[in-house]
Chain A
């Protein structure tokens, strides 16, 4: 009898230990306690904003606790990939709107008809939906607007004898400005070619001079060849940035974030092509250089007659969705619905200093920085963002090819050929 009791005790202890070790504790809380949602994020907008998200959401939803797993943006795919492969991990996670999200759509719960209701107050949410079509499946909720501009340092321009209030507007003017800046010993364009930033931040700005919106959709579908003259011309102009000596010498071996952005923030470069929200935006540069020193402009135009040349390459920012494997889908849905709401929109403006998507955000909260106001002008006329249409292999090949072209190891034609091979290696685009 005693032996049986001992065995039963051992079995119970073993089961309890196994449950503890495997984390099978139900919803992460006690039976009556709050549900704990695990959220994987690269903290777009910064740590302070996410602390506000956590405290504000938990205050209004006492039955749900948020447990954030924060990962740096450039390391995010490497952390998220194993979670998706093993179908385990966070209950809510994020991806950039566009192909990055579509490639991972099987990891998210489609919102179905709820998408329209959840996102009803947003300016746009098509980047969270298949093929940028809101009538198709949508996989999450965006709350910020994102895109590329060219930031410049007015002091560096002035020191080079250029008018800080009239930054170069055309490609030729930009080349002339770079020569003037180089003569002062500064870098013209701060650039880092390692990783996927060139694909997201530089490629779309050149591509707008050659592609139409239909071409950009073809890029998403993988039906336009990289040997198409329009895309070859885009690659040629990208190469010109580095082969003409407009960028820093170490561009091939550094990343844009943080290395390239650091060059600009230190005041060692005249220009930096980055983004309007999240990290390395007008606020970060304004803090480093001073709001009065920071200027914002559109990337220089190459073909003024191109239909998209004067547009803004815009896209919804990070999209948060509920994971397929989560056993707390209702709580996850509650959280992402809250993210799309006015309260979070205002937190986004106030703490992340970002561009909100929610139309009900109090306009009095919007920053009055000159750079932010200029960005408001630029984003008013948006077009599709060509960068987020690139698959993982294409974004990788774009950066590696640009590195090699810069170092004289690759011709433009060979680069285009490598891009085409990358397109053919793209699992999602192969389906087309």
Chain B
């Protein structure tokens, strides 16, 4: 067998024809795929534009209008935004929002601990798995009405505290500046933590049992297993739940405020979302209400953006 070193012959025109003919065909196929992709994406895009972008743009436009009652509106430029800087109620509502955001670690950690306990088949895990989710299935407005009775000065919580000799703790929960906000957040947490437990349980199902069992056999306690195995392996789930909570604590509380405190006493539980509603529909100040709404949107977006970026990094990080 010999190997020829002679240069390869130039392709004849007959050889070239199929290649040049293939290129337009490929281009045609690509174009067809592009149009198909566009067709498939377009319903989602249309929905996003119609139900997200258009209302947002409309909100921005309204926030630059001034209206008396429900009458006609006039262009007001940045007046509504400047008004917000001098409005103590707006400032208080955002200060309260920051205090609510400060409770985020509890929102993230508590469901995680409970989910791990259920995952490890702690005594009564089947019962608790079902029970923890029940509050989430109750309409928040009903939860609010329910807790108005439970948190009353002579309600069951205070009665229980008095029965076990903790009289000093039996306070008027919804009367105090800080106790009212704390109570509101606690009720919200009661209402939503079941969703967190379920989210974490879904994430925990992806961790091989052998890994946790090996750690257990190596003598790792509950907290060691939690922080050395569960948390590192659940990072994407924790990040997802954190994002949800970061934005949720600022927009989930409306029905609870509505039913429980109406933003009071005074402005103790006034949060921006309730103020938007109050300003727009009770004070009939649509432009100003929209401006507060846009400020809340920016506030939530800024808060979420860090978590989303972190989540994206976690999600795209290559396994080591």
Contact = CB atoms under 8 A, between A and B. Distances in A.
Interface of A: 77-78, 81-82, 84-85, 102-107, 193-195, 249-250, 252-255, 391-393, 396, 399-401, 403-404, 406-407, 409-410, 421, 425-428, 430-431
Contacts of B150: none
Interface string B57-86: 000000000011111000000000000000
Contacts of A399: 264
Interface stretch (B161-169, B172-180, B218-226, B231-239): B172-180
A426 B68 CA distance: 8
Contact of B265 (A104, A107, A391, A403): A403
Contacts of A102: 69
Given A250-B152, A250-B175, A407-B177, A400 B68 contact: no
Contacts of B70: 84-85, 103-104, 106-107
A165 to B, nearest CB: 32
Contacts of B148: 254
Nearest to A406: B265
Contacts of A105: 69
A403 B283 contact: no
B262 A428 contact: no
Given A77-B282, A103-B284, A407 B68 contact: no
Contacts of B281: 77-78, 81-82, 85
Contacts of B265: 193-194, 252-253, 400, 403-404, 406-407, 409
Contacts of B242: none
B273 interface: no
A249 B267 CA distance: 19
A203 to B, nearest CB: 17
Interface string B268-291: 000000000110111111100000
Given A106-B71, A404-B265, A427-B283, A78 B277 contact: yes
Contacts of B180: 253
Main secondary structure of the interface of A (DSSP, over half): helix
Contacts, number: 103
A409 B266 contact: yes
A427 B284 contact: yes
B152 to A, nearest CB: 6
B135 interface: no
Nearest to A107: B70
A402 to B, nearest CB: 9
B153 interface: yes
Contacts of A407: 175-177, 265-266
B174 A253 contact: yes
Given A194-B261, A254-B148, A407-B175, 20 more contacts: A78-B258, A81-B281, A81-B282, A82-B281, A84-B70, A85-B280, A106-B70, A249-B172, A249-B175, A250-B174, A253-B174, A399-B264, A400-B263, A400-B264, A409-B265, A410-B266, A421-B88, A427-B67, A427-B69, A431-B68
